[in-house]
Amino acid sequence: MPNTAKLHRVLKAPPERVYRAFTEAEALCSWMPPFGWIGKVFHMDVKVGGTFKMSFTNFSNGMEHNFGGEYLEITPNEKLHYTDEFEDPNIPGTITVTITFKKVSVGTELTIIQEGLPDIIPLEACYLGWQESLTKLANLVEPEICAS
């Protein structure tokens, strides 16, 4: 039975900066892989009907997971909705991901919903990975670095 993960986080950064972290390949690679993983984006065409392909590689053992999907709905700085599929036949099915970016008084209210997670991925492992990734995301988008 496929599972659903729902995540919520408030970040001290404007929606435009948080959205960029999801739509720029180098930024995405810097924060999305959980601790101990390295991310690589092979291609990323952020438009409705556009596709992406990336991988996470376990730094300890070199195991790689390739995955990709299609962008279904995009409202810049407000919403991303896309599919996600693993190339590994042992991780079947299509995951749908909906991310909303809401401007709030202190920055951005971020909501992530992953639907259709395959049973082979324990829901608690999914939450653990996202918690680590969201910590890395906050470390990327929250600092106000001024040029001198």
d(CA 140, CA 39): 15
d(CA 84, CA 67): 7
pLDDT tens by residue, 58-113? 999 999 999 999 999 999 999 999 999 999 999 999 999 999 999 999 999 999 99
pLDDT of residue 147 exceeding 90, the answer is no
pLDDT of residue 1 exceeding 80, the answer is no
- Identify how many contiguous H helices and E strands the chain contains and give both numbers: 3, 7
Q: Contact, 4 vs 98, CB < 8 A?
A: no
Sequence letter at residue 48: V
User: Which position has the token pair 């599972």?
Assistant: 3
pLDDT of residue 36 exceeding 80, the answer is yes
- pTM > 0.85: yes or no: yes
Q: Contact, 102 vs 11, CB < 8 A?
A: no
% of the chain at pLDDT higher than 90? 91
Could you tell me the two tokens for 99?
A: 């991310």
Name the β-bridge partners of 80: 74, 99
pLDDT of residue 148 exceeding 90, the answer is no
